Amino acid sequence: MAVERRLRLDPVACDAFGHCAELVPELIGIDEWGYPVVDGSPIPSHLMDHVDAAVRACPRNALSVQRVDGPGRRRPIASSRVVVRRPGAP
Amino acid sequence: MTTLEARPATARILAGIGGAGQRLDLAAHTAVHGPLALGARRDRHWADGFVDAIAESGITGRGGAGFPTGRKIETLRSERRRPMVVVNAMEGEPASCKDHFLATRVPHLVLDGAALMAACVNAPGVTVCVPRGSTAAARSFVTALAERERAGVGGVPVTVVQPPARYVAGEESALSNWLDGGDSRPQFRPDRPAVPRVKGRPALVDNAETLAHVALIARYGPVWFREVGTPEAPGTTLVTVSGAVDEPGILEVPLGSMVSSVLSTAGAGSTGGVLLGGYGGTWLAPSDVGTPYDPVSLREVGCTTGVGVMVALPAGGCGLAETARIAHWMASESAGQCGPCVFGLPAVAQDLTALAQGRASHRDADRLWARLGTIDGRGACRHPDGVVRLIRSAVTAFAADVNRHLAHGPCPGAAWPSVLALPHREVVEWR
């Protein structure tokens, strides 16, 4: 089963700092009130480094990456507290 | 809250209440329904049979989400720690008063259901939640518990608590968070459907009406339960009928009854549309009032059952103006946690008001549609989604009105007094 990674936003924690949207505009938009609109589709591998940066940059710790390895099985693999080194990363 | 008068068309939960709507004390309750047969503690055989009966009955939660009750118990039974049973009679929905009615008229039916659930999952206790300020409901439960203790009716200890009376306070995660000592605000639970937890224990949270049905299924069996209703949506349901009807109140109707027949039982004439499922629900167009009241049939016309509510809009009334009032009220009931809810709901409420008052241009209308798409699905709970759903259904059900308002300004009905209950909160509290 192919492993997919998706962005996950905690809307309660989010305070619309907007760093994430600046770092990964490909996946994160901003609504008219300044809050991020997160694309729930799988993260393309070439954007993973930018996503990791966005996760680390969030002052409210509201952004994370979740790994989906099968239908319904989800677990977060990285948040701005936990930095997961991916295979092949420097 | 609407004045209460029960007219049981199919009296199951409402059996024995009568037109005056008197409260059934334990003696009256036992005379109507017979004694409660509880399994002994840790009696697996009894518990298995009970779970099978609930699953076979096909009953779904009556709090709005409509989740199969049998599956919920199964999930809780597989938990390692003994779960708490939580009775949800919070009823934040202003157009609904069925939970209040159950609490003040048939508290023993609700408590029987809770006792059965507790025995089934081997719960150490039951917590009954009624909204703060609903003194009559709380007192009725407390009196009922004293009656049960005097009569020696078994079961685990029961406590009655009163979380803040807010629209979102009865949401499962908000309720469990309050019971855990926090605010009664919805929590971000990314891995739904996770089991809510209270003080480290899993919590079996069931709506008061669901438990009343459970008490009857335990007595009369799943086959009896399925005798009325549809194969997909069996049994009866309580519906609070209000608005342009002669006799507002609580009706118990078989699922699958035509919406129009439920309304005419309550003395409705021709209507300008029907609000179904509450303030996060959907509008049924006047041309669709012949639709059977069950989730499958209503889905076909783009509606939901939600919580058992029907508000009849008077013929000539303005559904857009009424929806705008609801949207403003719902915005004021936001827990104030998520940006799209805090900023989005007031924005769409303003847009809709402009449309209802005939001040909106086509560009304003386009912005409203775009905003609805932006807000949908972005809160920690479903509160903003409910408002989006309601506005979208209003635009569909009252499509001709939308065009008329855009072209010619407001209709006369926009200035009519509201048929909706929009309670003013003196105190806003979350603890």
User: Quick one: B210 and B181 in the same domain?
Assistant: yes
Radius of gyration (C-alpha) of chain A in whole angstroms: 13
Is B343 within 8 Å of A66 when comparing Cβ atoms?
no
B234 touches chain A (CB under 8 A): no
Whole-number Å distance between alpha carbons of B241 and B249: 5
Domain CATH code at residue B346: 1.20.1440.230
Q: How close is the nearest chain A Cα to the Cα of B200, in Å?
A: 21
Domain boundary among B177, B202, B225: B225
A49 lies in some domain:
yes
Q: Looking at residue A70, what is its pLDDT?
A: 58
CB-CB under 8 Å, A10 with B339: no
Are residues B129 and B220 both part of a single domain? yes
Report yes or no on A88 lying in a domain: no
Contacts of A12 in chain B (CB under 8 A): 187-188, 337-338, 380
DSSP state of B312: E
- Torsion sign over Cα B171, A30, B371, B298: negative
Closest Cα in chain B, distance from residue A11 (Å):
5
Would you say residue A39 lies in a domain?
yes
pLDDT at B4: 42
pLDDT (0 to 100) of residue B244? 93
B64 touches chain A (CB under 8 A): no
Are residues B104 and B181 located together in one domain of the fold? yes
Q: Extract the tokens encoding B246.
A: 């002669």
Contact pairs from chain A to chain B, CB under 8 Å: 43
Calpha distance B205→B197 (Å, rounded): 10
The CATH number that applies at residue B269 is 3.10.20.600
Do residue B406 and residue B379 come from a single domain? Answer: yes
Look at chain B and report how many structural domains it folds into: 3
Contacts of B252 (CB under 8 A, 6+ apart): B6, B8, B9, B10, B11, B12, B13, B14, B236, B237, B238, B239
Residue B7 lies in a domain: no
Chain B residues whose CB is inside 8 A of the A33 CB are 339-340, 343-344, 347
Judgement on whether residues B338 and B380 belong to the same structural domain of the protein: yes
**B3 within a domain of the structure (yes/no):** no
Domain endpoint, select from B257, B289, B314: B314
Tell me how many domains chain A contains: 1
Owner of token pair 């912005």: B367
| A31–B379 CB contact, under 8 Å | no
One-letter amino acid identity for B51? Answer: V
Residues from A contacting B (CB-CB < 8 Å) are 8, 10-14, 16, 31-35, 37, 66, 74, 76
Instruction: Say yes or no: B186 and B330 in one domain.
Output: no
Looking at the structure, tell me whether residues B55 and B191 fall in a common domain: yes
Instruction: Evaluate whether residue A90 is within a structural domain.
Output: no
Question: In terms of domains, do B141 and B206 share one?
Answer: yes
User: In which domain, by residue range, is A14 found?
Assistant: 4-78
Per residue in B9-51, pLDDT (tens digit) is 578 999 988 777 889 999 999 999 999 988 777 788 999 999 9
CATH number of the domain enclosing A70: 3.30.70.20
Q: Are residues B333 and B380 in the same domain?
A: yes
CA distance linking residue B388 with residue B393, whole number of Å:
9
H or E segment at B87?
strand B84-88
Buried b (16+ CB within 10 A) or exposed e, B215-237: bbbbebebeebbebbbeebbbbb
Is residue B231 a part of any domain in this protein? no
Length of chain B: 431
**pTM of the full structure:** 0.91
Rounded to whole angstroms, how far apart are CA atoms B231 and B149?
39
B82 and B216 share one domain: yes
Same domain, B170 and B200: yes
* Total Cβ atoms within 10 A of residue B135: 10
Amino acid identity at B142: V
Instruction: Please tell me the predicted confidence (pLDDT) of residue A86.
Output: 45
Cβ–Cβ below 8 Å for B188 and A66: no
Structural tokens at position B5: 């008068």
Q: How far is B335 from chain A (nearest CA, A)?
A: 10
pLDDT in tens, chain B (431 residues): 333 444 445 789 999 887 778 899 999 999 999 999 887 777 889 999 999 999 999 999 999 888 999 999 999 998 899 999 999 999 999 999 999 999 999 999 999 999 999 999 999 999 999 999 999 999 999 999 999 999 998 789 999 999 999 999 999 999 999 999 999 999 998 765 578 889 889 999 999 999 999 999 999 999 999 999 999 999 999 999 999 999 999 999 999 999 999 999 999 888 999 999 999 999 999 999 999 999 999 999 999 889 999 999 999 999 999 999 999 999 999 999 999 999 999 999 999 999 999 999 999 999 999 999 999 999 999 999 999 999 999 999 999 999 999 999 999 999 999 999 898 887 788 89
Q: Is residue A56 part of a domain?
A: yes
Same domain, B310 and B339: no
Chosen for mutation from B191, B337, B351, B366 (greatest number of chain A CBs closer than 10 Å) is B191
Residue B423 lies in a domain: no
What are residue B174's phi and psi, to 5 degrees? Answer: -65, -40
Confidence of residue A77 (pLDDT cuts 50, 70, 90): low
- Domain limits for position B200: 26-225
Residues of chain B with C-beta less than 8 angstroms from the C-beta of A14: 338-339
Q: b or e along B239-258 (b: 16 or more beta carbons within 10 Å of the residue's beta carbon)? A: bbbbbbbeebbbbbbbbbbe
